[in-house]
Structure 1
Amino acid sequence: MNKLFNTKNIIKLLAILFITITVVSCQRDGSAEEDDLPQEELTNIVLLVTEEGTTSTLTYDYSIGAGGIPTIPLKDGKSYTVVAKFRNGNEDATQEIIDAKNEHFLIFDFPKSNITVTRLDGNDLRNDGKRVGLRTKWDVVKAVDSPSPLLKLTLIHAPESVNDTKSGTAWGSVVGGETDAEATYNLTN
């Protein structure tokens, strides 16, 4: 019995427990392979915004963790096609999201604006018939409906279920899942 509880065995047991806890806590669902787009790999969320009727596309780059919030000018009564791109440094990570489209979903929250979001046809159709939201149309009723309007864009990983209709001020909602990336953009007229 003394051999079982000696100092060496206790230290070995504690070391094994520490390593086990560390490995498990650093993985989302028990396996690093399950997460096709680790949160730590996304550095930028880029929105490509094109006003309908024009050919000019403006780029708004949100750098994750770097501070600074891009401002997107929107005109009341106008419509815009918006394409979301995700980057890891200089590499485009958007294709990884498309490849794992059943594991991702975008939520567009406009808490101080009146904007309708329609998810457009593309290669991001999930098995449940919903679109991830990588390409959308924004119909702007009122870009500045309250002081300091903004867009909070959230990429959700592994939601149990998704809904692409409006929920409060957000277009899209989920049950379960975790945030893969989040960006904030100021809005102005």
Structure 2
Amino acid sequence: MNNLFNTKNIIKLLAVLFITITVVSCQRDGSAEEDDLPQEELTNIILLVKEDVPGSTAIEYNYSIGAGGIPTIPLTNGKTYTVEAKFRNGNDDATQEIIDAKDEHFLIFDFPKSNINITRLDGNDLRNDGKRVGLRTRWEVVNVINSPSPFLKLDLIHAPQSVNDAKAGTAWGSVVGGETDAEATFNLTN
């Protein structure tokens, strides 16, 4: 009986418990199988930017997650643009998965060095709380460059407890709770 409770056995047991607790606590709420869009599966965030004038075409700006390099989006003060956000997992379009689980997602558009107004447009991303995820937006550009090196930080939030699409500081949209499914940075210029 003394061998069962000796110091070596107690240390081994504590080590196993520590490793188990560490592994469990580092996981997201719910397993990857339960998450409709696991963070590890998104490889690209694409913005299709189209100036709101007749005959204009959308230009694609592709942010590759973890690959380095930041796309630069040229915008003009006083102009308006329609912007569509697309999400990819390799060659597969993951945007429909976000639409299918729209009540579990929300986009935050943060322009910390610009003055750009955002309106979330009609589409198939209306959540049960009456808010839109933000997959299709209109950008009214007041001033692209309010300070040096302007950029957009775009966050896809998973499972927020509540969302607000109003401007909060420099960001359009805020959440209570949730976790970041994906994040992208786009440089801005004019």
Distance in 2 between residues matched to 1:25 and 1:16, nearest whole Å: 14
SS of corresponding position for 1:163: strand
Opposite residue 40 of structure 1, the aligned amino acid is E
Cα distance change, pair 7–36 in 1 and its aligned pair in 2 (3 A): farther
Q: How many residues align?
A: 189
Which residue of the partner structure matches residue 189 of structure 2?
A: 188
The CA deviation at 1:144 is 1.5
Cα distance change, pair 83–175 in 1 and its aligned pair in 2 (3 A): same
SS of corresponding position for 2:5: coil
| Residues 102-143 of structure 1, C-alpha deviations (whole Å, 9 max, x = no match) | 111100001111111000111111111100000000011111
Which residue of the partner structure matches residue 76 of structure 1?
A: 77
Which residue of the partner structure matches residue 2 of structure 1?
A: 2
Distance in 1 between residues matched to 2:108 and 2:156, nearest whole Å: 7
Aligned partners of 1:82 and 1:135 also within 8 Å: yes
The CA deviation at 1:26 is 4.8
* TM-score relative to the length of structure 1: 0.91
Which residue of the partner structure matches residue 145 of structure 2?
A: 144
Distance in 1 between residues matched to 2:11 and 2:31, nearest whole Å: 27
The CA deviation at 1:6 is 5.8
Distance in 2 between residues matched to 1:132 and 1:156, nearest whole Å: 9
> Which stretches in structure 1 are left out of the alignment for 5+ residues?
none
Q: Which runs of 4+ in 1 moved over 6 A?
A: none
Which residue of the partner structure matches residue 31 of structure 1?
A: 31
Which residue of the partner structure matches residue 100 of structure 2?
A: 99
Distance in 2 between residues matched to 1:110 and 1:87, nearest whole Å: 23
Distance in 1 between residues matched to 2:23 and 2:100, nearest whole Å: 26
> Which stretches in structure 2 are left out of the alignment for 5+ residues?
none
Opposite residue 37 of structure 2, the aligned amino acid is L
CA RMSD of aligned residues (A): 2.0
SS of corresponding position for 1:67: coil
Which residue of the partner structure matches residue 162 of structure 2?
A: 161
Which residue of the partner structure matches residue 44 of structure 1?
A: 44
The CA deviation at 1:17 is 3.1
Aligned partners of 1:24 and 1:30 also within 8 Å: no
| Identical counterparts, % of pairs | 83
